[in-house]
């Protein structure tokens, strides 16, 4: 009987220690993640998780931060037009797009992305490429933190600076130099629309020799940009 009690006591002690360890680890993760997100409201990220994990970029990536006011006004409008037209009004998630993607998956289609700009910022900064539900859960956590801690304009500023526009090319400044031989402030609307057109698959498309698909998408984005400008979208983010 004493031996059984001792074994049960030892098991309980181990369970308690495991619970304490897990609670401590969770507390550290929450603290560090909150501090990191809060700091990045003002500090330019020196690097992102996607840059570090990119097999193409391991030989060296091109990344150069540029302030929001130094980017041509067409660029942020272009990425909103191409990637997330509900960005000014949602709280980090486009519920309708998520529902549509799940319906397609249930009907036998592949699971397509339904990520907002806020989710993509969270993923690029802190996470790894994957379609797992565990990663999506962590992405949702960081998305909520970012939406709570940053104004919308800051989210957009970080996105245009860390998004991949071509193999090993991160951010609008590096992309402007590589593909148009000009600064981000001198981009035309057509330039911005072409960059935004490549965002879903930046490693697949060659912006130096755009395919007809890219050109068609560029024209569609330009039309959406005109509509969004008429609605004063950028002014609403300040």
Per-residue pLDDT at 109: 52
Which percentage of the chain shows pLDDT scores above 90? 64
Cα-based distances in Å from 65 to 68, 170, 172: 9, 9, 8
pLDDT range class, residue 1, cuts 50, 70, 90? low
Average pLDDT of the segment spanning 77-96: 93
pTM of the model: 0.87
DSSP assignment string, 99-153: HHHHHHHHTT--------HHHHHHHHHH--S---HHHHHHHHHHHHHHHHHS-HH
Per-residue pLDDT at 113: 55
Neighbours of 134 (CB within 10 A): 8
Per-residue pLDDT of 156-204, as tens digits, reads 999 999 999 999 999 999 999 999 999 999 999 999 999 999 998 898 9
Average pLDDT of the segment spanning 2-30: 70
Per-residue pLDDT at 134: 83
Q: Where are the domains of the chain?
A: 1-39, 45-236
Per-residue pLDDT at 61: 87
Residue 80 reports pLDDT greater than 80: yes
Residue 211 reports pLDDT greater than 90: yes
Average pLDDT of the segment spanning 55-68: 83
Residue 86 reports pLDDT greater than 50: yes
How confident is the prediction for the chain on average, in pLDDT? 88
Average pLDDT of the segment spanning 64-72: 96
Per-residue pLDDT of 44-56, as tens digits, reads 999 999 999 887 7
Beta bridge partner(s), residue 164 = 170
In contact, 175 and 63? CB cutoff 8 Å: no
CA dihedral of 151, 155, 157, 159, whole degrees rounded to 10: 180
In whole angstroms, what is the distance from residue 94 CA to residue 98 CA?
6
Per-residue pLDDT at 99: 75
Say which residue, 105 or 235, is predicted with more confidence: 235
Per-residue pLDDT at 174: 97
Per-residue pLDDT at 112: 46
Q: What is the CATH number of domain 45-236?
A: 1.10.3810.10
Residue 138 reports pLDDT greater than 80: yes
In whole angstroms, what is the distance from residue 179 CA to residue 153 CA?
25
């Amino acid at each position: 009987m004493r031996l059984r009690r001792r074994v049960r006591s030892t098991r309980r002690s181990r369970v308690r220690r495991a619970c304490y360890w897990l609670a401590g680890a969770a507390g550290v993760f929450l603290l560090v993640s909150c501090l990191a997100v809060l700091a990045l409201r003002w500090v330019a990220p020196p690097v992102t998780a996607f840059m570090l994990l990119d097999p193409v970029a391991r030989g060296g990536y091109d990344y150069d931060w540029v302030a929001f006011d130094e980017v041509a006004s067409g660029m942020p409008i272009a990425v909103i037009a191409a990637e997330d037209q509900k960005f000014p009004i949602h709280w980090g998630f486009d519920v309708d797009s998520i529902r549509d993607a799940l319906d397609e998956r249930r009907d036998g289609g592949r699971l397509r992305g339904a990520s907002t700009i806020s989710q993509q910022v969270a993923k690029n900064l802190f996470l790894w490429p994957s379609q797992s539900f565990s990663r999506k859960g962590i992405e949702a956590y960081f998305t909520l933190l970012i939406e709570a801690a940053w104004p919308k304009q800051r989210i957009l500023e970080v996105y245009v600076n860390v998004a991949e526009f071509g193999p090993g090319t991160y951010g609008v400044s590096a992309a402007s130099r590589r593909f148009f031989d000009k600064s981000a402030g001198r981009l035309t609307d057509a330039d911005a629309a072409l960059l935004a057109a490549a965002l879903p698959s930046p490693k697949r498309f060659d912006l130096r020799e755009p395919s007809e698909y890219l050109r068609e998408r560029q024209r569609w984005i330009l039309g959406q940009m005109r509509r969004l400008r008429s609605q004063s979208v950028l002014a609403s983010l300040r």
